[in-house]
A = this chain, B = another copy of it.
Amino acid sequence: MAVYTEVTDDALRSFLAAYDLGELVAFRGIAEGVENSNFALKTEQGDFILTLYERRVDPADLPYFLGLMQHLAARGVSCPRPVAARDGAALRHLAGRHAAITTFLPGVWPRSVRRAHCGPVGAALAGLHLAGADYPAVRANALGPAGWPALLARALADDGAAAEALSPGLGAELTAALSGILGNWPQHLPRGHIHGDLFPDNVFFLGGAVSGLIDFYFAATDLFAYDLAICLNAWCFEADLAFNVTKARDLLGGYAGVRTLLPAELAALPVLAQGAALRFALTRLYDWVHTPPGALVTRKDPRDYVRRLRFHLAAHDVAAYGL
């Protein structure tokens, strides 16, 4: 559901004239990605993606995101590579928005996660973490632990009435969980560039292997193991929200096969996974409260992440994750 801004053919033609991509062949809106407007662009040179950055993306962050993709792609990570125009700049303007063309990646994102996906996702995430090591830019994670108190306050800005209506006691439950998580948050784990949103719709597979990682617009500088905890939440719960420990073992094993997980990282997994679940519960709760029912963007039920949070709060150690 993601064409918020339309591009006239005149504007598109002028825009493309700055590139060496040959003649335009086709241009279609893509119904994926919820933050930005995305178009499948085909030129004589092949397939590309054109992204118009919408209001939720801070333009000041765009050089970090595009630079990270460029850096990772140059180091062999299969991620969109920003395409520079003839003047060397990849970040441009179109239809009143910041815009960039990136390379097209083959593959299909898994609409239903199978166990066989989880090892490769873990390995791909570790590869991303290693490949980003020498990318010098820094972006504080606005949706990391430092941002959660404000996020909770905004989601409960109506004195928690909407949260209460959604699930009695939810505001108090999240407030208590936040306090506990921040109190236990690890301070000295390995850090670097994290994807921050590696959900199934951001991972393409082809022939059983990961063929592409996309949507780096939540990337930031934060704990590697926190990124892995986001994946535990996104990949290892079944539709009925049962935790699949086999998938978790495969995810962690796939990761550890590429980048060694320190004992301190493993020990911190429960609180990291609690934090990751809380982060998505809070952003979803905020969206739930602030999106009219049935609006253009489908609201995701925050309770799905509250249930994940409860699972992780009951996890005593890494054994809960199959190790």
Contact = CB atoms under 8 A, between A and B. Distances in A.
A7 B110 CA distance: 9
A24 B111 contact: no
Contact of A30 (B30, B108, B110, B295): B30
Nearest to A3: B31
A106 B40 contact: no
Interface string A227-238: 000000000000
A93 to B, nearest CB: 17
Interface string A83-126: 00000000000000000000011111011101000000000000
B294 A108 contact: no
Contacts of A170: none
A43 to B, nearest CB: 11
A269 B293 CA distance: 43
A173 interface: no
Contacts of A204: 26
Given A29-B32, A31-B30, A12 B108 contact: yes
A47 to B, nearest CB: 8
A298 to B, nearest CB: 7
A182 interface: no
Nearest to A12: B108
A171 to B, nearest CB: 26
A107 to B, nearest CB: 6
A1 interface: yes
A209 to B, nearest CB: 13
Interface of A: 1-3, 6-10, 12, 23-32, 40, 42, 47, 104-108, 110-112, 114, 204-207, 292-296, 298
Q: Considering the complex of A and B, which 8 residue pairs feature the smallest CB-CB distances, nearest first?
A: A29-B31, A31-B31, A27-B108, A8-B111, A3-B31, A294-B295, A8-B112, A25-B106
18 contacts: A1-B296, A3-B31, A3-B32, A8-B111, A9-B110, A9-B111, A10-B114, A24-B206, A25-B107, A26-B104, A26-B106, A26-B107, A27-B108, A29-B32, A30-B30, A31-B31, A294-B295, A295-B295
Given A24-B206, A296-B296, 5 more contacts: A7-B111, A12-B108, A25-B107, A28-B32, A28-B40
